[in-house]
A = this chain, B = another copy of it.
Amino acid sequence: MSKLPELTGRQRAVIDFIQDRIRAWGYPPTIREIGEHLGIKSTNGVADHLKALQRKGYLTHEEMKSRTLRPVAAGATLVRALLPRAGEGVAIPLLGRVAAGEPILAEEHAEGTVVVDSVLVGDHKTLFALKVVGDSMIGDGILDGDYIFVRKRAHADAGDIVVVIIDNEATVKRYFPEGDRIRLQPANPSMQPIYIRQQDFKDVQIIGLVVGVYRKL
């Protein structure tokens, strides 16, 4: 990697703000918005910084077009790597029905996507989302209608909240291996745990771990 010229503190503040704004609002700020954020009253004050950033290779900008400031990939990465990152949105496929035997992440199953913060869910490549039906996990604060974010995995540790497929239907339970059987424990005092004996393990498929819950009120 070629080394990019150093930035002054002020220039760094400008490009950071542009970067943050793009991530936060989806489009870059105007010159006046930058000025307002940094306390620069003259558009030309900001324009000077932008010229410097372009000259140093950190930024591109199309003349006479609004909101076309674009941090250059390499430059932006170097700058951002040194700073605490806010999260970026990642798109998670929202699945409708989930049935055994079918490829779980097949696109045909996606009913849409949901964008959430990468800080909240972690790596998104193996994630999908489901809408919860029923009250079996009410004690863990997972209610009917909630969206759950699931990391696709075939195994789990004791006590994990998992999505499993039993009898061609997906359910959410806590997972407890107990010798030659598995206990799937609902978090609802009025419901009984499900026990799976070793010889029936083949009928049960762990789909993944619940890593997040979202409820729209």
Whether A202 sits at the interface, judged by CB under 8 Å, is no
Whether A86 sits at the interface, judged by CB under 8 Å, is yes
In the complex, chain B residues whose CB is within 8 Å of the CB of A112: 1, 73-74, 77-78, 86-87
How far, in angstroms, from A141 to B77 measured CA to CA in the complex?
Answer: 29
Give A79 Cβ to nearest chain B Cβ, in Å: 11
How far, in angstroms, from A85 to B26 measured CA to CA in the complex?
Answer: 11
Given A73-B91, A96-B1, A212 contacting B211 (CB threshold 8 A): no
Q: Is the interface of A mostly helix, strand, loop or mixed?
A: mixed
In the complex, chain B residues whose CB is within 8 Å of the CB of A169: none
Give A209 Cβ to nearest chain B Cβ, in Å: 8
The listed residue (B82, B91, B114) touching A120 by CB distance below 8 A is B114
Interface with B: A6-14, A41-49, A63-71, A190-198, which one?
A63-71
Number of interface residues of A (CB under 8 A): 55
Is there contact, CB below 8 Å, between B73 and A113? Answer: yes
Query: What are 19 A-B pairs at a CB distance below 8 A?
Result: A23-B91, A24-B91, A26-B86, A26-B88, A66-B66, A82-B107, A85-B113, A87-B113, A89-B89, A114-B117, A114-B119, A115-B118, A116-B116, A116-B214, A141-B141, A141-B142, A210-B217, A212-B216, A213-B217
